[in-house]
């Protein structure tokens, strides 16, 4: 919902592309966890700890989809764009009939990469107390990330192992039942 408008803004407006593409590049190249202490301080003000974790995961995942979709939009064959123009597809009809289907494979691969990135960040994003001055474990968010980190710190090998297995199973099931199916389905949207 956020990535597509950011990508389409670049596609539709060459001036915006000149400004935004380098800007996206800079923001994307800064490790998202570098922003985390500042993000936490902001959300703590509103006592909204979940917001901090959600926001940092969102930031970490966003750019994979944005750059993938920009790449997809730019690689639509010239003949296809000409055909759309010749057959009078404009505005919403162009987006619905041509652009959105054309970027579908890129949305899937971008989302898959973003999903993987999300798992990396979640390990850290739930353990809020390490970023708060005088923070305690009680301030952590409950989830696989905080269980892993806190079990490791408390030397609870069994808990750590179970958490790892749960995470591997969740990733494996998601990969098998969602991503593989989507990747397969996306094949029919690819240009020859």
Partner 1 sequence: MRNDTNLNNFPLIKFEGVGKIFESTGDIALRDVSFEVCAGDFACFIGPSGGGKSTILNIIAGLEKESLGKVSAPAGTSMVFQSAALFPWFNVFDNVALGLRAKKLSKERIYEDTMKYINMMGLGEFVAKFPRELSGGQKQRVGVARALAVNPPVLLLDEPFSALDPKITEELHKDIVRAWTDTRQTIVMVSHSIEEAAALAERIILIKNFTVAKIFPIKLARPRHEQGEAFLRQVLEIRREFFK
Does 87 interact with partner 1 (rule: CB under 8 A)? yes
Out of 18, 22, 38, 97, the only residue in the binding site for partner 1 (CB under 8 A) is: 97
Return all residues near 90 (Cβ < 8 A) that are at least 6 apart: none
The torsion angles phi and psi of 89, rounded to 5 degrees, stand at -90, 120
Is the Cβ of residue 48 or residue 191 nearer to partner 1 in the bound state? 191
Q: Which 43-82 residues touch partner 1, going by CB under 8 A?
A: 77, 79-80, 82
Tell me the residue ranges of DSSP E strands in 9-89.
none
Is 7:111 a contact under the CB 8 Å cutoff? no
Does 104 interact with partner 1 (rule: CB under 8 A)? yes
Does 18 interact with partner 1 (rule: CB under 8 A)? no
- CA 163 to each of CA 50, 92, 156, 160, 169: distance values in angstroms, whole numbers, following the listed order: 20, 46, 11, 5, 10
In angstroms, the CA 129 to CA 138 distance is: 8
Does 10 interact with partner 1 (rule: CB under 8 A)? no
Does 2 interact with partner 1 (rule: CB under 8 A)? no
Does 184 interact with partner 1 (rule: CB under 8 A)? no
Piece in contact with partner 1 (CB under 8 A), picked from 26-34, 56-64, 93-101, 173-181: 93-101
Piece in contact with partner 1 (CB under 8 A), picked from 8-16, 37-45, 111-119, 183-191: 183-191
Least separation, in Å, of the C-beta of 107 and partner 1?
Answer: 13
Does 14 interact with partner 1 (rule: CB under 8 A)? no
Q: Cα dihedral sign for 102, 107, 112, 116?
A: positive
In angstroms, the CA 105 to CA 122 distance is: 26
Size of the residue set binding partner 1 (CB under 8 A): 20
The number of CA neighbours under 13 Å toward the Cβ of 1 is 1
Q: Which residues bind partner 1 (CB under 8 A)?
A: 77, 79-80, 82-83, 85-89, 93, 97-98, 101, 104, 188-192
């Amino acid at each position: 919902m956020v990535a597509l408008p950011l990508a389409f803004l670049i596609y539709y407006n060459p001036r915006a592309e000149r400004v935004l593409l380098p800007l996206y590049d800079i923001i994307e190249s800064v490790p998202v966890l570098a922003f985390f202490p500042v993000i936490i301080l902001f959300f703590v003000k509103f006592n909204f700890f979940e917001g901090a974790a959600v926001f940092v995961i969102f930031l970490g995942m966003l750019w994979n989809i944005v750059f993938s979709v920009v790449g997809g939009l730019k690689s639509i064959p010239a003949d296809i764009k000409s055909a759309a123009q010749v057959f009078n597809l404009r505005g919403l009809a162009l987006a619905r009939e041509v652009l959105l289907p054309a970027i579908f494979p890129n949305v899937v691969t971008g989302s898959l990469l973003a999903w993987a990135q999300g798992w990396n960040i979640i390990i850290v994003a739930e353990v809020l107390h390490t970023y708060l001055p005088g923070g305690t474990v009680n301030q952590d968010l409950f989830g696989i990330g905080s269980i892993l980190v806190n079990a490791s710190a408390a030397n609870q090998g069994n808990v750590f192992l179970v958490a790892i297995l749960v995470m591997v199973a969740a990733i494996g099931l998601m990969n098998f039942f969602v991503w593989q199916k989507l990747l397969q389905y996306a094949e029919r949207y690819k240009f020859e």
